[in-house]
Amino acid sequence: MSEHFELLVRGGRCVTPAGVVAADVGVRGGKIAALGALSGATAERTLDAKGLTVLPGVIDSQVHFREPGLEHKEDLATGTASAALGGVTTIFEMPNTKPPTTTQAALEDKLARARGRAWVDHAFFVGAAAENAGELARLELLPGVAGVKVFMGSSTGSLLVANDEVLRAVLRSGRRRVAVHAEDEPRLVERAALTREPGATAALHPVWRDEETALRATRRLLAAARQTGRRVHVLHVTTEEELEELAHAREHATVEVTPQHLSLAAPECYEQLGTLAQMNPPLRGRRHQEALWRAVESGLVDVLGSDHAPHTLEEKARPYPDSPSGLPGVQTLLPLMLDHVHAGRLSLLRLVDLLCHGPARVYGLAAKGRLVLGYDADLTLVALDRQHTLANAEMATRVGYTPFHGRRVTGWPVVTVVRGQVVMTEGELLGAPVGAPARFTETLEQAR
């Protein structure tokens, strides 16, 4: 008797823990039920993957979807639509909304807002503050929580943990890995006058938020992590000096970089894009970019995240420094990195480690991030040789643009599958949103 599946993906080349292999994928109950030669199998739906490469579903572990309070920039529906169109099957959303996600009520509100509107699976960070430091150990164990997020330097929103006493209190409250935006707030305040000089432009952004601003915060964070025995994940690392410090702190710290910092560099990015290149931490010069690429190659970098942080074009048109920091990126995360694979900057296997295995490993994501039996059937089917020109018009983000408009890439997401349900094919969303809260190994009991 032949096997029967709800979904059968035939004829693709699958990126598995054993390498890239020719295999079919059979799905039942939203899980990978079979992987191999399934020529005799039948299915309710069959996808022809001939000529395509099947990746584990891409996980974007740093996005800002702005809901509640800032829905004119983005919301959970438009943000997750962008994710699905970009081949992303799971997102972790940041807490700097209005109000910030610092309480159980705020978290539950976000989960309720996502229900029936999110195109992909999702989890939300709880924001750390002096006021809730004592509650974080409880909050981080709630269902749908990706972990705790710390802002050591001011960015979009009001969340801030600026001094070491509060930082240590936050790290002592709980046990899951803590995600950290590491910029030194005292140095930012000290140097802010630079941005008010006559004729200041976005090109001053990496001068104000300089290498020392990042390095001081990362050193302070690593000292606090050692003192408290807490694991930390340093987000959007941008400098060669930070990487040198982090290479000696692997027992406590993991590392994220963004495609923007790998793909854009100063001064050209500011000359070409102006405030559309303004983000925190800033895009820096070639020396730092090449250091990031060496860290990708060596294995020091654990995760790639888009840091999708949209603002409207009207907001971005304000004169610097009144222009807000942040770039949209969830829909271009995978295409940009596939283009880097095509160019030989990294292997496909390394990319899958950074976009699938890495986020699952760092955050303890349950049953996602690999093509193996019993895992969620999250699949991203890509055409490695397809050329495509990125365009504002195809961006589903509410702000409707990408800083990479006009860039030609090789490598393109063709199909997105979330727990066995096809949500995107060839640039079109299908059916209704199916996203659900992601689960984590450290909180499975609470998620029941």
Secondary structure element (H or E) that encloses residue 233, with its range: strand 232-234
Spot the catalytic one: 75, 307, 339, 376. Answer: 307
- Work out the angle at residue 128's Cα, subtended by the Cα atoms of residues 70 and 103, and round it to the nearest 5 degrees: 65
Nearest of 303, 298, 287 to residue 233 by alpha carbon = 303
DSSP 235: -
Residue 381 CB coordination number (10 Å): 24
CA separation for the pair 382, 335 (Å, rounded):
9
Burial 160-194 (b: 16+ CB within 10 A, else e): bbbeeebbbbbbbbbebbbbbbbbbbebbeebeee
Q: Is there a contact between 28 and 3 (Cβ–Cβ < 8 Å)?
A: no
Our answer to whether residue 339 is catalytic in this structure is no
Strand-pair partners of 53: 13, 382
31-36 and 19-28 strand pairing: antiparallel
Task: Name the token pair of 267.
Answer: 């001064």
Q: Is there a contact between 398 and 404 (Cβ–Cβ < 8 Å)?
A: no
Secondary structure element (H or E) that encloses residue 314, with its range: helix 313-316
Question: What's the burial of 384, exposed, middle or buried (CB within 10 Å: 0-12/13-18/19+)?
Answer: middle
Residue 408 CB coordination number (10 Å): 10
Task: Name the token pair of 366.
Answer: 């349950």
Provide the annotated active-site residues: 307
